[in-house]
């Protein structure tokens, strides 16, 4: 009998894990997405979309679906769902594994200002008007709208609300991006500062290489803290953990 695995996703790691488990009949995985993006990347296999109604709702969903394992493969900045996952796994009395992708680290030549919040990121732009590339997603723009004298370019997967920074050019794009493309983008807009969350991973890392090469400043929003749970850094190690777990339970 296959072990039922619920994967909380919205990340490249979740998609990769779904693809790997689709080929392994020891597991029957279901992917869960919040429903934030208009055209999500859907891997093979079953999926569901939408919130559960907090930790209690997620625990109930796990019980009702007779899930054996919960995987939190959500984005490092998705703190509410990660907290809910920790509580729900405990209530449903099933193991939880998180995928915590390592944060980016500043390297020689980087000009980073590390800040703890989106508000602090907006403040770190300073008072003189700057040309700023915002890559923080379409839902986190309000602190920048409060500092409208900067010349912003907004890049996000889905369109930002029309009434936020309405005059700022919008670039709708989903990674992975190449260093050459990022280089060209920064030059085209004469970008002085990039604002980004410290998401980690490779899909959106090229902008940091391009910024280093061009001497562009980066305002880097630090990771929020997440529950201290059993974690691995990537999808391949999540697959290995699942196989070990399965082997232990089978006594092999
Ligand atoms: P969040 O603030 O932690 O979660 C808000 C609520 O959205 C949760 O309480 C939950 O609703 C629902 N939710 C979140 N992830 C879900 C999932 N995978 N399946 C079902 N419901 C989910 O999350 P967020 O920062 O808005 O992120 C939403 C999604 O976008 C996540 O899947 C995340 O992996 C992805 N994402 C986020 C970012 C980012 O920067 N935050 C970047 C890229 C991708 P209920 O309480 O009703 O269950």
Interval 135-160: pLDDT, tens? 999 889 999 999 999 999 999 999 99
- Spatial contact of 174 and 204, defined as CB atoms under 8 Å apart: no
CA of 35 to the centre of ligand 1 (A): 8
Q: What is the pTM of this model?
A: 0.96
What is the model's pLDDT at position 85?
A: 98
β-pair partners for 4: 28
CA of 10 to the centre of ligand 1 (A): 8
Closest ligand 1 atom number to CA of residue 79: 3
Nearest residue (by CA) to ligand 1, atom 8, is: 81
Dihedral in degrees, nearest 10, Cα atoms 45, 51, 53, 57: 10
- 72: helix, strand or coil: strand
Pocket of ligand 1 (CB under 6 A): 8-11, 32-34, 36, 51-54, 57-58, 74-75, 77-81, 84, 137, 197
Q: What is the mean pLDDT of residues 29-40?
A: 95
Q: Which of 9, 10, 199, 204 to mutate to test the pocket of ligand 1 (most atoms within 8 A of CB)?
A: 10
CA of 79 to the centre of ligand 1 (A): 8
What is the model's pLDDT at position 175?
A: 93
- Spatial contact of 186 and 213, defined as CB atoms under 8 Å apart: no
Other C-beta atoms closer than 10 Å to the C-beta of 193 total 22
Dihedral in degrees, nearest 10, Cα atoms 196, 223, 37, 32: 160
**Residue 122 φ/ψ, nearest 5 degrees:** -65, -40
Q: Which of 53, 67, 81 to mutate to test the pocket of ligand 1 (most atoms within 8 A of CB)?
A: 81
Q: What is the mean pLDDT of residues 65-79?
A: 98
Token pair recorded at residue 12: 């490249």
Closest ligand 1 atom number to CA of residue 81: 3
User: What confidence tens digit (pLDDT) does each residue in 221-231 have?
Assistant: 999 999 999 99
Q: Which of 34, 60, 72, 92 to mutate to test the pocket of ligand 1 (most atoms within 8 A of CB)?
A: 34
Closest ligand 1 atom number to CA of residue 197: 40
What is the model's pLDDT at position 11?
A: 96
Q: What is the mean pLDDT of the chain?
A: 97
Percentage above 70 pLDDT, the chain: 100
Q: What is the mean pLDDT of residues 79-96?
A: 98
CA of 7 to the centre of ligand 1 (A): 12
CA of 55 to the centre of ligand 1 (A): 13
Closest ligand 1 atom number to CA of residue 80: 3
What is the model's pLDDT at position 245?
A: 97
- Write out the H or E segment, with its range, that includes residue 48: strand 47-49
């Amino acid at each position: 009998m296959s072990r039922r695995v619920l994967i909380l996703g919205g990340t490249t790691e979740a998609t990769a894990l779904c693809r790997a488990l689709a080929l392994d009949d020891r597991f029957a995985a279901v992917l869960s997405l919040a429903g934030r993006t208009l055209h999500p990347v859907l891997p093979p296999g079953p999926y569901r979309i939408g919130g559960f109604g907090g930790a209690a709702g997620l625990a109930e969903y796990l019980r009702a679906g007779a899930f054996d394992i919960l995987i939190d493969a959500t984005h490092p900045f998705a703190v509410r769902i990660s907290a809910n996952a920790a509580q729900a796994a405990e209530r449903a009395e099933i193991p939880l594994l998180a995928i915590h992708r390592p944060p980016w680290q500043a390297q020689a030549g980087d000009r980073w200002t590390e800040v703890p919040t989106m508000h602090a990121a907006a403040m770190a732009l300073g008072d003189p008007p700057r040309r700023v590339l915002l890559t923080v997603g379409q839902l986190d723009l309000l602190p920048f709208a409060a500092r409208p004298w900067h010349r912003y370019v907004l890049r996000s997967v889905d369109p930002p609300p029309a009434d936020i920074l309405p005059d700022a050019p919008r670039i709708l794009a989903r990674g992975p991006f190449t260093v050459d493309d990022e280089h060209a983008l920064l030059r085209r807009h004469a970008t002085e500062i990039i604002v980004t969350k410290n998401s980690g991973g490779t899909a959106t890392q090229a902008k940091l290489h391009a910024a280093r090469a061009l001497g562009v400043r980066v305002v880097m929003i630090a990771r929020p803290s997440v529950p201290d749970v059993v974690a691995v850094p990537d999808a391949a190690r999540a697959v290995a953990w699942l196989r070990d777990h399965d082997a232990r339970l089978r006594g092999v």
